Amino acid sequence: MTANENPFENELTGSSESAPPALESKTGESLKYCKYTVDQVIEEFQTDGLKGLCNSQDIVYRRSVHGPNEMEVEEEESLFSKFLSSFYSDPLILLLMGSAVISFLMSNIDDAISITMAITIVVTVGFVQEYRSEKSLEALNKLVPAEAHLTRNGNTETVLAANLVPGDLVDFSVGDRIPADVRIIHASHLSIDESNLTGENEPVSKDSKPVESDDPNIPLNSRSCIGYMGTLVRDGNGKGIVIGTAKNTAFGSVFEMMSSIEKPKTPLQQAMDKLGKDLSAFSFGIIGLICLVGVFQGRPWLEMFQISVSLAVAAIPEGLPIIVTVTLALGVLRMAKQRAIVKRLPSVETLGSVNVICSDKTGTLTQNHMTVNRLWTVDMGDEFLKIEQGESYANYLKPDTLKVLQTGNIVNNAKYSNEKEKYLGNPTDIAIIESLEKFDLQDIRATKERMLEIPFSSSKKYQAVSVHSGDKSKSEIFVKGALNKVLERCSRYYNAEGIATPLTDEIRRKSLQMADTLASSGLRILSFAYDKGNFEETGDGPSDMIFCGLLGMNDPPRPSVSKSILKFMRGGVHIIMITGDSESTAVAVAKQVGMVIDNSKYAVLSGDDIDAMSTEQLSQAISHCSVFARTTPKHKVSIVRALQARGDIVAMTGDGVNDAPALKLADIGIAMGNMGTDVAKEAADMVLTDDDFSTILSAIQEGKGIFYNIQNFLTFQLSTSIAALSLIALSTAFNLPNPLNAMQILWINIIMDGPPAQSLGVEPVDKAVMNKPPRKRNDKILTGKVIQRVVQSSFIIVCGTLYVYMHEIKDNEVTARDTTMTFTCFVFFDMFNALTTRHHSKSIAELGWNNTMFNFSVAASILGQLGAIYIPFLQSIFQTEPLSLKDLVHLLLLSSSVWIVDELRKLYVRRRDASPYNGYSMAV
C-alpha cells in the first residue's frame, strides 16, 4: 500500500491529482454526510451538538431499527458436522471408505484397519488446518472498539460501543478507536490512522468542514470530516455524530464482502478429486472385467466377485492421501524456514501453479521506508545532487544545501524511541533525519526551543515552526511543504554563498519545472523556506521568506526484487502491480523494479478504466496490463475475478483490512507479516514474515517442486500396486497358485505406502523447476507422461517377477523357496523402482544421494527383507527360507533392469528435448 495521505504528496509537486480512492462504504452513509455541514447533520439526525440525543424512547426506537453496533456472524455449522462432512466431500476418501468396508466384509481385517487409520489421519489433519484458517471474520470483529465516550442528554460517560445508535454524540482523543462511522463536528489538531482500513500508512488530518467536491464518488481517504469505525486517533481530539453503525459502516462493507466470498478449491484438491474418480472407474472396470473372464471360464459368480473386489481394493493406493498430507506438511516446514508461513496445506502445492501474481507496491516490491535520494537548490540549475545509500556527501555541503537540511531537521516531528532503537513518526520526517548522517550533520533540535507551530492541514499544505536558541528576540521561522504553497510565501532564495537573492518569476518557473522532473521519476517532493523573526499563530502565517530548495524522496525497491521478477517472467508468471498511486508514479516504480512497460496506454489501467469495463472486457484487457493505478479494494476483487475467469491461478498480496476480500478470493492470498493487519493475515493462505516479494519466489519454487514430488511418488505407488495387481490377476487367470502369501503382500504394501514412498515426497527441490511454466488449473496429476512411466515400470516388474516365479515352479509344486524367490524379487524391483522415480528426467548421477530420508528408508527396507529371509522367527511369519548369495546377486541383477531401462529413457528424453533448462523436459 502507498501512503497517499502523506501531507506533502500530490500538492508538493504542484500536481492537481487527487489522492487515490480507497474503500467505499456500501451504504454510502459517509459519502452522503461528508458533504453536509455540521448544522445539516445535526438537523438530519435530530440530535444536539452539545447534549447529544435526549429522548430515551427515540433511542430505543433507533436501536430496534438499526440493531446493536456490532458485527454479527451468521450461525455456523457445528464443528462435529464440519468434521463429518470432510469424510464425504472428497471422492478419493469415499473410495477408500468403500474399500475399507469391502475389506472388512471379506474378513481382511488388517486391510480394513490400515485403510480406516489412513482416512482418519488425513481427514483430521485437513480439518484442523481448515478450522485454523477460517478466522478472518473473527479477527475483523476484534477491530470494533469495545467502549465509547458517549454524550446523551448532556451527560458524558463511557459505555459499550455496541449501544451506539445513529445520531449519538461521541468524543475521542489520542489512543481511542473511533467506535462507529461518525461525522466530525469538532476537531482540534485531529489526525486519525486509517491504515487498518485503507492500508495507507500516514495518519489523516481531520476537520469539521464539509468536503467540497463535484466528484460523485469521493474517495474514502478524501472524506476529511469523517471518522471510520475501528480507526485509531493518533493526535488531537474531536467530537462526532454517529452516522453509521455495524454493517452500515466502512468496516461493515469489508465484513459483508468477506462473508460472501467462498475460498476456491486449490488445483491440487481439484486434481485429487479427478484422481479419485479415475481410480473409482479403474476399480469398477477391473471388477467387471475379471468377473466376466471368470464366468466365461465357468467359475462361480461369488468366487469371481470376491477375487475381483480383492484385486480392486489392492489397486487403490490407500497410502496416497497420507503421503500427500505428509509431503505438504514437510513443505510447510521448509517454507517456514524461508520466512513464508503457509496456513492451508493444499496451498503449498497451489503456489507451484500460480501464473499471475498481483502485488502491492509499498512494502512488498519496495522497502516501505522513505529515503532521501535527491537534493536541489536554485544555483544547481538543471542539475541536482543524487544521494546514494552508504555514501558520504559532506564535501557537497554549501550554505544553500546546509540550509535545506537544517530546515528539514528543525521543522520535523520524528522522535527517537530508545525501546525500539529507531525513529518513529511521519515517514518523510524520518527520512530527512536519517539523511543528515550522510552529510556528517547532527540532529540540532535539542538546541532549539519551539515556540509556535502551524501543523500541516489539507487546506494549508505546509507546516511551519518558530524556534529560538534561548533568546526570543532572535527567533527563526522554518517551513516545509508543497512547493507551490511554499513559493507563494517567499520573495527571496538562498544562493550557493548563502546570500538571500530576489526570487524572480523565472526562478519560480525553474523550481516548479525541477519539481515536476523529480516527481516524474516517482519521487515525493518537499520544499523548504527559512526566515528570521516570528509569526502570529492566528494570522495568515509566515510571509516574505527565503526559499531554500527541494528534497526528493521515495520508497526504494527491495534489492532482490528485480532479479525475482526476471525469474518469474522466465518461468511464465505474469507480474501485476496494483497501487493507489497515480499512473505516472506507478509506471516509474514498475520500471525501477524491472517490470516491462512497453506501452503505458495498454500496460496501465486505472480504477476508472476498471469501472467502465465488464468482467469479459477486463479479462481481455488484462492480458496486456502490468500496472493497475488508483485502485480500490472493490477493484482488486474485480481484477482477481477477471483473471480467474480466464483460467489463471492468482496470487494476491496485501496488508490492510481493505485487502482481505481479495486475499480470500484469490487462489493464494499472501499477507505481510510485519506491516499486515490481523484481518489480512487471517484471510490469507500465506504470510510473509519479512514482507519481502522475493520470498514468494522461494515459496513458488517449493510449490512447484512439491507437485513433481507428488507425481513421483504417485508413479512409484501406482506402478507397484498395478504390478502386484497384475501379478495376482495373471496367476488367477492362468489358474496358477498364488505367488505371494498374505503376509508377503502385507509387507509389500508397507513398503509401497511406508517410508520409501514417503521419502520421495521430500526430495530436495530442483531450482531448475522455475524454468518450467506453471501448470494449468484443469491439468491432471496423472498426465500422459506419468502414465507412460507407470506402465513401463509395472510391465518390467511383472515380467521379471513372473519369470522368476515360473522358473521356480517347474516341478509344478509351490515350495517356500519358490515364494521366497518371487517375494524377494518383487521387493528388490520395488527398491530399484523407488530409485528411478526420484526424478522424471534426471539420472541418479545428476541427483546424487542428497535425500537422506530416501537413503535410510531404502536401506531399512532391504535390511527388513533380508531379515524376513534369514531370521528364523520372521521366516515362520513370512513362510520363507534362506537364499544363497548367488540367488541374491541373480535377483539384484534382474531387478535392476527397471532402473537401467528408465535411465535409458531419461537419456533419450534429455537428448530429444535438449534445451537451456538444465535437463528439464518441457513436455513432461
Q: Residue 602, Cα to own-chain centre: how many angstroms?
A: 27
- What the block records as the C-alpha cell of 141 is 470483529
Of 150, 175, 160, 134, whose CA–CA distance to 70 is shortest? 160
| CA angle at 689 for the pair 688 and 693, rounded to the nearest 5° | 40
How do 524-532 and 500-502 pair as beta strands?
unpaired
Q: How many CA atoms lie within 13 A of 877 on its CB side?
A: 14
CB 530 within 8 A of CB 480: no
Q: How far apart are CA 756 and CA 763, in angstroms?
A: 11
CB 342 within 8 A of CB 362: no
- Say what the pLDDT of residue 26 is: 41
Q: How far apart are CA 509 and CA 174, in angstroms?
A: 42
CB 245 within 8 A of CB 180: yes
Q: How far apart are CA 387 and CA 372, in angstroms?
A: 7
Q: Which CATH superfamily is domain 319-333+697-911 in?
A: Calcium-transporting ATPase, transmembrane domain (1.20.1110.10)
Residues in the chain: 924
- Say what the pLDDT of residue 920 is: 38
Topology annotation, domain 370-552: Calcium-transporting ATPase, cytoplasmic domain N (3.40.1110)
DSSP 45-95: HT--TTT-B--HHHHHHHHHHH--SS--PPPPPPHHHHHHHHHHS-HHHHH
Active site includes 540? no
Question: Where do we find the cell 486517533?
Answer: 233
With 0.75 as the threshold, say if the pTM is over it: no
The amino acid present at 883, given as its one-letter code, is L
E strands within 330-475?
Answer: 340-342, 356-360, 371-376, 385-386, 415-417, 422-424, 449-454, 462-468
pLDDT along the chain (924 residues), means of 10: 35 34 49 91 92 92 88 59 66 68 71 70 60 46 70 90 92 86 89 72 81 81 88 84 89 70 64 69 70 72 61 60 71 79 76 87 78 94 90 92 95 82 81 93 92 78 90 92 92 94 94 90 90 77 93 86 87 87 81 80 84 86 86 84 89 80 88 75 82 83 81 84 80 75 72 73 76 75 85 93 87 81 92 90 84 88 91 86 93 94 88 56 36
Q: Residues 360, 581, 659, 691: which is the catalytic one? A: 360
- Say what the pLDDT of residue 503 is: 94
The amino acid present at 821, given as its one-letter code, is M
| CA angle at 591 for the pair 381 and 665, rounded to the nearest 5° | 140
614 class by beta-carbon count within 10 Å (0-12 exposed, 13-18 middle, 19+ buried): exposed
What are the boundaries of each domain within the chain?
27-69+143-258, 319-333+697-911, 340-365+557-690, 370-552
Of 901, 845, 194, whose CA–CA distance to 580 is shortest? 194
CB 194 within 8 A of CB 5: yes
Give how far Cα 799 sits from Cα of 131, 173, 814, 835, Å: 48, 83, 19, 19
Q: What CATH number is given for 340-365+557-690 in this structure?
A: 3.40.50.1000
Of 34, 25, 381, whose CA–CA distance to 207 is shortest? 34
Give pLDDT tens digits for 402-423: 999 999 999 998 888 777 778 8
Q: What CATH number is given for 27-69+143-258 in this structure?
A: 2.70.150.10
Q: From the CB of residue 918, how many other CB atoms can be counted at a distance below 10 Å?
A: 13
The amino acid present at 542, given as its one-letter code, is P
CB 354 within 8 A of CB 649: yes
Residues 6+ away with beta carbon under 8 Å from 261? 637, 661, 664, 665
